[in-house]
Amino acid sequence: MDRIAIPGPEGSWVIPEGQEEAAARRLAAFERAYQRLADRQEELAGRMEALKAQGKQKTVQFRELFGEKLTIQQLLQLWETCGVL
């Protein structure tokens, strides 16, 4: 990935002249991705709760949902660790 934001002094970031629109597009794409992941986390939690209520925690479906939930959780945690969130 080509970087748009360039590290500046004292922890700041600089967007080179002429790259403002590209930086805004990339930020918007990240925000859309984050929202999709957050929405999916909520959806997964609801589906898993429904399966739990039916006593189906050991089913393949539940385990697949659980695996996806953990993957998304790990990605969001990485973003948080990197200071993105």
**pLDDT tens, residue by residue, 33-73:** 999 999 999 999 999 999 999 999 999 999 999 999 999 99
How far is it, in rounded angstroms, from Cα 53 to Cα 31? 33
Helix H or strand E segment including 29:
helix 20-53
CB 29 within 8 A of CB 37: no
Query: Residues 4-25: what's their mean pLDDT?
Result: 92
- Type of residue at 39: D
Residue at token pair 């080179």: 16
Residue 1 has pLDDT above 90, yes or no: no
Please name every residue paired with 50 in a beta bridge, in sequence order, or none if there are none. Answer: none
